Amino acid sequence: MSELQAAQVRVSEIQDLVDWLASFGGTTEGGVTRLLYSPEWVQAQAALKQKMDDTGFSTYFDQVGNLFGRIKGTDERNGVILTGSHIDTVIQGGKYDGAYGILASYLAVKRLVERFGKPKNTIEVVSLCEEEGSRFPLTYWGSKNIVGDYSPMTIEALKDKEGISFKQAMGEAGFPFDEYKTKKRDDIQHFIEIHIEQGSILEKSQLDVGLVSHIVGQKRLTVTLNGESNHAGTTPMTERKDALVCAANAISGLTKIAKAEYPSLRVTTGQILAKPNVPNVIAGNVNFTLDIRHHESEVLEAFCQRAIQLLHQLAKESSIVTDINLWTDISPVPLDTKLHEELNKKLAIKGLKHTTMVSGAGHDAQVFGQHLPTTMLFVPSKNGISHSPLEFTESFQLEIGVSVLMDYLYELAY
């Protein structure tokens, strides 16, 4: 086989795997719906286990349904190198989010073993049971159980939209709640995750791979403004306590400040409710959200304070009473970048174009990154689309990701 033919075989290998896994929970719209502990989820995990068994991995499930495929290393003094991503999807999601990370890990480890034999350090490929929070109101169920962040209390009262309890769903999928205890794995030395970008930075700059340095922190606030509802025709402009105008000024002011002074910050108002929401009445009460993200705690904090200050100032000018509720406060997570530096040269020799970047979305890597050295890589997403049947990455780009992941795993385990 020529070098070119071999490359083509490798490209179709990863694409075939992605298409194969997408058949578990595949929808007529061309997307995938694979919710935690659903029949599709059970079938996908079982099929992955079979595939890894057939390839010579030692496979096992933990108590919550994370699936591991282990290749024992020759030197057992060192910890495990864990590589993978999540098997669950959002409702009507795409084929690549999560799934690609598991399959790329499987393929990278399989090829490394074929080429170099057993690794020095044990490697485990993981298919994490849940990340998205699409069935039950909690996220990172897979990774947070591995690092010991969850307990039976976490899920005691949770139910899905059909009224099925978390405990029941878990049991029916083969993981009895009665046997579930908080357990922290302390044998993992390094976690590495490859994922689609879910943004368009790589595509727009025609880059092959993104080396993630941080996962952003997030603050989410709900702002309530209480002014006065009154007649649209008889209340002079100077005498209004218009909560909607106050909200509009705040949102536009914060957008301007962010654009001018905080280049890598993101601020979003995705939800706004005005009352009484009637065309000829001044809105006396407005509720809106602020979602603020940045990869440095100090910047995130500073902008948040700035937002609160501006809100108070604008409210005061119109005699409006404010209430600000901060309900999500997640710190940024710096990832391990030593390997990026070491592998930069290797990537350049291969002619691969890469950049160091920040992830604006949450990932399992941020859970592991708070406990142990963690590396994350991105491959491009077509038009930056994800969580949709339109999610797409070219086969050759998927293959580049596999080959880069092989380089990283070689560095970590051989």
What mask, x for binding Zn ion by CB under 5 A, covers residues 91 to 130?
------xx--------------------------------
Q: By C-beta, is 99 or 170 nearer to Zn ion?
A: 99
Amino acid at 296: E
Give the distance from CA 244 to its chain's centroid. 33
Q: Give the nearest distance from C-beta 131 to Zn ion in angstroms.
A: 6
Question: Cα–Cα distance between 194 and 131 in angstroms, integer?
Answer: 14
In whole angstroms, what is the distance from residue 46 CA to residue 333 CA?
Answer: 33
Give the phi and the psi of residue 205 in degrees, each rounded to 5.
-95, 5
Considering beta carbons, is residue 299 or 361 the nearer one to Zn ion?
Answer: 361
Binding window for Zn ion (CB under 5 A); candidates: 90-98, 173-181, 269-277, 295-303: 90-98
Three-state DSSP class for 272? strand
List, in sequence order, every beta strand (DSSP E) within 341-400: 354-359, 374-379
CB of 241 to Zn ion, least distance (A): 44
Nearest-angstrom CA–CA distance, 199 and 386? 8
In the complex, the smallest distance separating the C-beta of residue 378 from Zn ion, rounded to whole angstroms, is 11
Taking CB under 5 A as the rule, which mask of x and - marks residues 285-324 in contact with Zn ion?
----------------------------------------
Cβ-based nearer residue to Zn ion, 25 or 98: 98
Q: Which distant-in-sequence residues (6+ apart) come within 8 Å of 400 by Cβ?
A: 208, 209, 352, 379
The distance of closest approach from Cβ of residue 356 to Zn ion in the complex, given in angstroms and rounded to an integer, is 20
By beta-carbon proximity to Zn ion, the closer residue of 35 and 246 is 35
User: Which residue's CB is nearer to Zn ion, number 98 or number 199?
Assistant: 98
Which of 106, 337, 299, 389 has the alpha carbon at shortest distance from 210?
337
> In terms of Cα–Cα distance, which of 406, 413, 395, 396 is closest to 343?
406
Question: CB 138 → Zn ion: shortest distance, Å?
Answer: 16
If the CB atoms of residues 65 and 98 are measured against Zn ion, the closer one turns out to be 98
- Report how far residue 92's alpha carbon sits from residue 115's, in angstroms, rounded to the nearest whole number: 38
Measured between alpha carbons, how far apart are the two ends of the chain, in Å?
27
Give how far the C-alpha of residue 367 lies from the chain's centroid of Cα atoms, to the nearest Å: 10
Q: How far is the CB of 394 from Zn ion (least distance, A)?
A: 19
Of 35-54, which residues contact Zn ion (CB under 5 A)?
Answer: none
- In whole angstroms, the minimum distance from the beta carbon of 64 to Zn ion comes to 18
Contact 304, 219 (CB under 8 A): yes
Return the number of the residue (287 or 393) whose C-beta is nearest Zn ion: 393
Q: CB nearer to Zn ion: give 142 or 227.
A: 142
Cβ 100 to Zn ion shortest distance, Å: 9
Quick one: 86 or 110, whose CB is closer to Zn ion? 86
Pairing of strands 333-334, 209-215: antiparallel
CB of 81 to Zn ion, least distance (A): 20
DSSP H stretches of helix in 318-394:
338-349, 364-369
Q: How many residues bind Zn ion (CB under 5 A)?
A: 2
Q: Is 350 exposed, middle or buried (0-12, 13-18, 19+ CB in 10 A)?
A: middle
Q: Where on the chain is the footprint of Zn ion (CB under 5 A)?
A: 97-98
